[in-house]
Amino acid sequence: MREKAETSVKTSTGPYRVFVSYSHQDANFVSVIVKYLVEVCGVEVIWDQTFAYGRGFHEQIRDFIAHSHVFLPVITPKSKERGWVHQEIGYAMAMNIPVLPIAIGAAPDQMISIVHSIKIDPPTDGKPDSEQSWVWEGLKATLDKRKLDFLVERSSDTSLARYQCADYQEERTMLMVRHSNTAFDIMFRGHLVRQLGGLSSYHIPDAEPNSEIWNVRYGSRERSEFHRKLQRSERNSLEQHSDVAGCMLIVNPYEIYADSGPRAYAVRLLSLYQFLKSSPKGSVIVALSSKIGVHESLTIVGDIFAAMAIAGSSRGGYMQTVFTTHAPSMKARHIYFDGRLMDCLKGWHTHKQWDKPIPDVASHFADKTRPHADFCQTTVDWACDEIEQILRKNLGVNGSDLCGNPVDLTLHLAKKEYNKAPYDSLKDSPPKPPFEV
């Protein structure tokens, strides 16, 4: 198990990402525009100065446009001569990313001729081009944070998002890893992970594909080393985000994986339990629910991408998972997830008689404030207590330390003399949280 640095759950509703498209011949204008966007509008600017070394230039342009809240092309007489400027505009419009042209000494034409643009006219008093105060003043008179808010909100409907579908489990995992890694490349930092469904990606073993834990985890089902490698990559790619920005989880430890047997069930629970136990205080908020079906899965990484499975089973895994990178509509997905999380936490509040008001988690993130570390840890403690009850009472996992090797802790479940009655009874009456409402 790898060591984790101290972290805390951080806001995922950070500043807008604005992709600035321009001609290098207009660099003097653009440097002023970028400074204005950062200092006055409070946005994060993506332009060629923020691209990663060692990656394809055109690949990054496509990725970063697709993950932007606003696409801002700088239209000048020089840039209008560049065909790739119009290609980028076309790509942004095809992805339903709001387009806000800034026209300096030129009128937008072709496909953005119908888009209302910010127009800034160069001075006519003979001042040299090196004096760019007029660009700043022109922006100050026409652009502020409220106008960007309006533009993004107008494009926030989830029906405007573009989707990519992964039909099979392996395709889903490969796309999850790719999108997660791309998310880290954007502004070079981790993003808050929201995940609902099953036992989450954090119950996947962080172990080599030939490790015995995989054989135990899948029981009688055969899984190739390639499949195992992909699964591990999914956990690691998401963990690079949660290690930095934390995670919010809604999981169902009451789905007993009857097809795989009691030992597979126990190993899965232990893997999740150990992740929760090893997480730094304040980095995880977790709620348990028996109402999540085996086909239901939702993963949201910051406002970078979301993945939603619409079919699946405990045997075959998640199928037909759709992905979207449409940043303007991520807020609606955050609200949906946070609402379900709060419903689960309110159930815990009732049962556990929590003597303090439950923090409004969604409101805390929206206000860019850190949730109470003590409360985050309380949810982790409650979840671990409940998982321990299942492991000890129904699966006979003994010992004071459940953070040891899951394979060793579950050896008794592979022995013929093990009394499977407690586990078998779960097939007819699966455990349910006594605190769920």
**pLDDT of the residue at 43:** 94
Contact assessment for residue 72 and residue 43, using Cβ atoms and an 8 Å cutoff:
no
Contact assessment for residue 219 and residue 265, using Cβ atoms and an 8 Å cutoff:
no
Tokens encoding 337: 């997830």
CATH node for 17-154: 3.40.50.10140
Contact assessment for residue 68 and residue 97, using Cβ atoms and an 8 Å cutoff:
yes
- The model scores a pTM over 0.85: yes
With b meaning 16 or more CB within 10 Å and e meaning fewer, what string describes 63-77?
bbbbbbbbbbbbbbe
**pLDDT of the residue at 145:** 92
Residues in the chain: 437
Contact assessment for residue 176 and residue 73, using Cβ atoms and an 8 Å cutoff:
no
**pLDDT of the residue at 376:** 85
**pLDDT of the residue at 78:** 78
Contact assessment for residue 265 and residue 395, using Cβ atoms and an 8 Å cutoff:
yes
Q: ∠ CA(284), CA(325), CA(360), 5° rounding?
A: 35
Residues with Cβ within 8 Å of 13's Cβ and at least 6 positions away in sequence, in order, are: 303, 331, 334, 365, 366, 368
Contact assessment for residue 156 and residue 98, using Cβ atoms and an 8 Å cutoff:
no
CA distance 314 to 252: 12
Tokens encoding 80: 């209008």
Residues with Cβ within 8 Å of 101's Cβ and at least 6 positions away in sequence, in order, are: 72, 73, 74, 75, 108, 112, 115, 117, 118
Question: Which fold is adopted by the domain 158-428?
Answer: Endonuclease; Chain A (3.30.870)
Tokens encoding 348: 């815990």
Coil, strand or helix: which one is 339?
helix
CA distance 406 to 176: 26
Cβ-based neighbour number of residue 184 at 10 Å: 19
Q: Quickly tell me which residue has 């998310």 as its tokens.
A: 183
**pLDDT of the residue at 367:** 39
Q: ∠ CA(332), CA(333), CA(336), 5° rounding?
A: 90
Q: Quickly tell me which residue has 């860019």 as its tokens.
A: 368
CA distance 264 to 311: 22
CATH 3.40.50.10140 spans which residues of the chain?
A: 17-154
CATH 3.30.870.10 spans which residues of the chain?
A: 158-428
Q: For residue range 71-88, what is the model confidence (pLDDT) as tens digits?
A: 999 988 877 766 677 788
**pLDDT of the residue at 119:** 86
Residue ranges of the chain with per-residue pLDDT less than 70: 1-13, 50-57, 81-83, 107-116, 125-131, 294, 311-318, 349-371, 427-437
Contact assessment for residue 148 and residue 16, using Cβ atoms and an 8 Å cutoff:
yes
**pLDDT of the residue at 8:** 46
What's at 150, amino acid-wise? F
CA distance 165 to 320: 6
- What is the tally of helices (H) and strands (E) in the chain? 14, 12
**pLDDT of the residue at 359:** 60
